[in-house]
Amino acid sequence: MRSIPTRPITIDHSLLNAPPPRIIRRPEPHDTDMTQPPDARSQDLQLRFLLPDAGVRGVAVHLDDTWAAMTERATYPPAAAELLGEAAAAAALFTGYAKVDGRLSVQLRADGAIRTLFAECTAAGTLRGIVRVSDAVADGRTAPPSRDLRALGDDAVLAITVENPALGNREPMRYQGLVALDAGRLDEAFEGYFRQSEQLPTRLLLACDGRRAAGLMLQKLPGDEGDSDGFLRIGALFDTLASEELLALAPAEVVHRLFHEEQPQLLGEKPLRFACSCSRERVESMLVSLGEPEVQAAVEAGLGEAKIHCEFCGQEYRFDGDAVGILFRDAAAELPAAPGIQ
């Protein structure tokens, strides 16, 4: 049986337009277990849940060690690192929603201070990501990037890409959605994207403080499921969540603190970790696509060895002149691939 809320929540339609008023107080949970230190549990998780009365589904993610491993080989300007953390949290959130059995990436390309930002999460729960800033930023000749997406430049493009491998009779599938960059924050931009592309009310909060990253996403279930003001009620509770709280708590604690009176059903928990999908084989096919003259030139420039360095994980792959010769001889013996197939 549902308990009676300690403080009734009334929804005013002005909530839809106005900033969240602080009069909506989140009822305090009666049974919150705050005795267990958060560090006693794995902090790198994706948690899927359902709020059945309101007809809302949700995903919460937290990246701790994963985030540290993603960034330990790079020194990024703080705003670039925070955007990367939020993009990584977003990629982990979206794999909890979309039908992903391969990988999902969030990718940003621009001509300004940030050139490329890439964060990827696989169905297995592994994440990797990088940011490339302009040479002028890297050399300290211009100011570091801003966190405001509208400052990325007119040519900036933000995309969500899902790549699923061939499975049984199914062909490999690649789907890409372009996200409009008319909001200042990444979570606002994604909220708009899901509202428009799926026609479903969506709320999204992403946060990264340089040490960890986290995200919470809520979406109305399709159809008439849930009570009539369910999504507004959940949205009012969602608006009480601050970035600092989202970052400090494990996903299950976030769900419990916000929605304990909604009797949330936990649908599944997936551990997340850093891993890179680079391999010598993949590097070889990349070299073959460059052509032998260019690769042999790289061998000469490298005093007898071409060194290919993976930006995601730091792994180094070395090829001397003989190895390059064998690589291209073997490649020539294979049937040429159909254009566009890799």
Q: What is the DSSP letter of 328?
A: H
What is the smallest separation between the CB atom of 311 and Zn ion, expressed in angstroms?
A: 8
Nearer to Zn ion, 120 or 261 (CB): 120
Which residue, 209, 262, 265, is CA-closest to 238?
262
DSSP string, 198-226: H-S-EEEEEEE-SS-EEEEEEEEPSSS-S
Query: DSSP character for 169?
Result: T
Q: What residues does 175 pair with on adjacent strands? A: 162
User: In this structure, what DSSP letter does residue 1 have?
Assistant: -
93/310 with CB nearer Zn ion: 310
Closer to Zn ion by Cβ: residue 151 or 313: 313
Q: Whose Cβ is closer to Zn ion: residue 207's or residue 278's?
A: 278
Q: CB 276 → Zn ion: shortest distance, Å?
A: 3
Closest distance to Zn ion from the beta carbon of 42 (Å):
23
Residue 170 or 282: which CB sits closer to Zn ion? 282
**Shortest gap between Cβ of 299 and Zn ion (angstroms)?**
21
- Least separation in angstroms between residue 8's CB and Zn ion is 53
What's the min distance (Å) between Cβ of 313 and Zn ion? Answer: 3
The nearest distance, CB 128 to Zn ion, in angstroms, is: 7
Helices (H) and strands (E) in the chain, counts: 10, 13
Q: What are the residues binding Zn ion (CB under 5 A)? A: 276, 278, 310, 312-313, 315
Pick 97 or 317: Cβ nearer Zn ion: 317
- Judging by beta carbons within 10 Å of its beta carbon (0-12, 13-18, 19+), is residue 34 exposed, middle or buried? exposed
Nearer to Zn ion, 236 or 278 (CB): 278
Cα distance between residue 325 and residue 180, in whole Å: 46
Q: Please name which of 272, 161, 123, 136 lies closest in space to residue 212, comparing C-alpha atoms.
A: 272
Q: Tell me the pairing of strands 273-274 and 126-133.
A: parallel
Please count the CA atoms within 13 angstroms of the CA of 237 that sit on its side-chain side: 28
Compute CA distances 65 → 128, 329, 334, whole Å.
Answer: 12, 43, 42
